[in-house]
Structure 1
């Protein structure tokens, strides 16, 4: 990830990351231009999903199958056998 100085636009170095949650972090940054010397905190946060995780899809299917009645689960297993 590239962070630019908010004062002069030069590349900045991330010196420390303070992770507040999986979706938000504070980045403590320093400008690499010695004439500027600006230090600042940038916030990085999760915005939205473009493509869902395959892991969460698998977990969702497992949870749905477990919530089914035993007869429904057996019928689903038979249908899935058709794809082998």
Structure 2
């Protein structure tokens, strides 16, 4: 098995070891983890999923390309909607307003 992503035990926060893994599909892998703290002894299963394409493959598999979305659909900071602040007042001066007195 190639190196699995590092994780910490969700209970004691000690480092965990990936003991084994298995492929569930070309986009999904199950990883079995074990806590390194013998007094804790927690073991668990985590999943690793390919969620979107950042750079298209030069050897694209058509079956995968149809199911793995491109990252183009993710809004950027410039196109994301502006947050609506709650609890503020309209008469509060802006930090960036140069006409506000100090």
TM-score, normalised to structure 2, is 0.50
Higher helix proportion: 1
Structure 2: unaligned runs, 5 residues or longer: 63-102
- Aligned residues: CA RMSD: 1.6
Q: Quick check: 1:34 aligned with 2:38?
A: yes
Structure 1: unaligned runs, 5 residues or longer: 60-84
Task: Detail structure 1 runs of 4+ shifted over 6 Å in the superposition.
Answer: none
Higher strand proportion: 1
Provide the secondary structure at the position in 1 that maps to 2:59: helix
How many pairs were matched up? 57
Q: Which has the higher contact order (CA 8 A, sep 6+)?
A: 1
Alignment partner, residue 23 of structure 1: 27
TM-score, normalised to structure 1, is 0.60
| Structure 2 counterpart of 1:3, from 1, 7, 10 | 7
Alignment partner, residue 52 of structure 2: 48
